[in-house]
Amino acid sequence: MSIPSFDLKVVRSDRTTRIAPSGELDIASAPEFEEAIAEATAEPGAKVVLDLRELTFMDSTGLRALAQTNARADEAGFVLSIVRGPRQIERVLEISGLAGLLPLVDAPPGAAPPGAAPDGAVDAPPDAASASSS
């Protein structure tokens, strides 16, 4: 019997902590996930980004962790953003009713939108630039 895979990346930058679980977030892996959240939220005013894009599975313990973290955000004084996961994770959030309650975002806060130049300016298609100059 093989153990389902789970990995957790935690990246701290200034007052923002990005927690990115990958694999299966379930009863076996939730304690590690919850511990990382607790460490990241220990300081008032912290910003926490939970990045679900690499999850492949999430059970009710993962849902509970997200709901509890969201509930604690206001009372503990930290800012929470949750980056949407793949379709199967989004579906679990929808079925549970949490999708409408959680602070879900499409990309991590501060990330450049697709097609953005390194300086933040959005690249225009070459034909649009030549059409406007004629």
Per domain, the residue ranges of the chain are 15-107
Q: What is the pLDDT of residues 11-70, one digit of tens each?
A: 999 889 999 999 999 999 999 999 999 999 988 889 999 999 999 999 999 999 999 999
Phi-psi region of 23 (alpha: psi -120 to 50; beta: other; left: phi over 0): left
For residue 133, pLDDT over 60 is answered with no
**What is the residue whose two structure tokens read 């990246």?**
11
Identify the architecture of domain 15-107 in CATH.
2-Layer Sandwich (3.30)
Q: What is the pLDDT of residues 73-89, one digit of tens each?
A: 988 889 999 999 999 99
Beta-sheet pairing, 6-13 with 16-25: antiparallel
For residue 8, pLDDT over 90 is answered with yes
- CB-hemisphere CA count at 13 Å for 30? 16
Separation of alpha carbons 60 and 82, rounded Å: 17
Question: How would residue 123 be classed by pLDDT, with cut points 50, 70 and 90?
Answer: very low
Sign of CA dihedral 107, 110, 111, 113: positive
Q: What is the pLDDT of residues 101-122, one digit of tens each?
A: 999 999 988 765 555 544 444 3
